[in-house]
Amino acid sequence: MNYELILEIIAVITGMLSIWYSYRINILVYPIGMISLALYVFIFIKNGLYANAVINFLYFVISIFGWWNWLRQRTTDNGQQTTDKGELKVSYLSKKENAITITILVILIFFINLFTTNDLSIRLDYYTSAAGLIAMVLTSFKKVENWFFYLVADIVLIPLCIYNGLYLTSIQYVAYTILAIMGYINWNKEAKKNV
């Protein structure tokens, strides 16, 4: 077995565990996910998927923030520390946050179309990277809508990985698609409790 296949297997396993922990709204999503992300930076560079390599590096950086944001103490509006250990609660995007998210998505799509070639696999690489970036940021704030962006990226990445010969990773994205649906259902239930 060659080392690239071993790294891909480890990346797949830790990636699956990370999504499982995200589904469970468990802080282990971050340290486990960071192992997978670091491996995928290498794997995607090796396979010429540079946008996904960059985005996995950015996910790694955002994971550091998300890990901190999920753990940090919150305060009430009057500056007093909360009594529930300040845990960040799962919630929905506000109208303002939704407008900002959509605006960022439109800007990203505009720049992708402006600065990339017409090669479909390259554009899909960038589109999925943009969706994943938005999803990762929304996850770090425990926003339910993160799952929509993950779902779109996962569905598109299945054939893109097959096209690039990353068969194990394509299977992983099938599982991610299922977990994204399950994650949305679970986070939606949790957010309704927090309203």
Query: pLDDT for 40-88, tens place per residue?
Result: 999 989 988 787 788 889 999 999 999 999 988 666 555 544 445 567 8
Query: pLDDT for 21-42, tens place per residue?
Result: 999 999 999 999 999 999 999 9
Mean pLDDT to the nearest integer, 115-126: 87
pTM, rounded to two decimals: 0.84
Whole-number pLDDT of residue 27 = 94
Whole-number pLDDT of residue 83 = 45
Q: For residues 149 and 16, give the distance between their C-alpha atoms in angstroms, rounded to a whole number.
A: 17
